[in-house]
Chain A
Amino acid sequence: MTDTTTEQPPALNTRSVVGLGACAAVALVGIFLIPTLQGPSGGLNVRFWTMAALELLAMGGVVYFVLNLHEEPS
């Protein structure tokens, strides 16, 4: 399915590309969040669920942006 013709490759949706980068950043924040939240600000469960929510948000974002990675032909 690789494009072997001289046609222009389909245009990437800039918003989706930026969104994928942002989702990756959110996923990284989720992984490294728990140690930075340690202290009186919240119990262990609160910190775990904050991490899980961030990972789910990042994953959902990746799914959305991958499904909309290219500009719709006008």
Chain B
Amino acid sequence: MEKFSVFKGVAAPMPMVNIDTDMMMPKQFLKTIKRTGLGISVFYDMRYDENEAERPEFILNKTEFRHSKILLAGKNFGCGSSREHAPWGLLDFGFRCVIAPSFADIFYSNCFKNGILCITLPEAQVEALTAQADGSDFSIDLENMKITAPDGTVTQFELDETRRHNLLNGLDDIALTLEHIDKIKAFESKQQTGQPWLYT
């Protein structure tokens, strides 16, 4: 996984609440057996009309937001299905960071597994950032946990240490876990003694 350091990019405002993962990645795109190539399909029904032509009014179709790297969203972002195709689509489009007042649990976890930083901020702070999202660059500094808006104002955010560490260092979760393989085996052996019916 790519290391997450300081980066700059355009932030696209999508202030709707309850944007679900069906909206981000409709079912017909879940049939792929690859992780890549989903950027073109992200937010499909909102982005394209019935004839697959771009809807000019949709935010990501506007010239200044076509290369957005940050998404400023409403409450409960990513609710619904566990499909990781949603964060794969965001990543493939170019998003590295989503800022919202709240996230659905599974989606939140899926994003970090793919190197997408989810930042939770109070609603008023998200709105203040959204007000500045005019196509200018924002800067995200994960090391110091701060967002710099185009006008230079700085917003601090919080993140649990495990996720921050793994993202900053681009660590492979599975490799980290396998360092504890002896503990896993010891757990199994103890569990097998106490609950043998789990091992038949």
Report whether chain A binds chain B. Answer: no
Where the two chains meet, the residues of A that have a C-beta atom closer than 8 Å to any C-beta of B are none
Q: Which residues in B have some Cβ–Cβ distance to A below 8 Å?
A: none
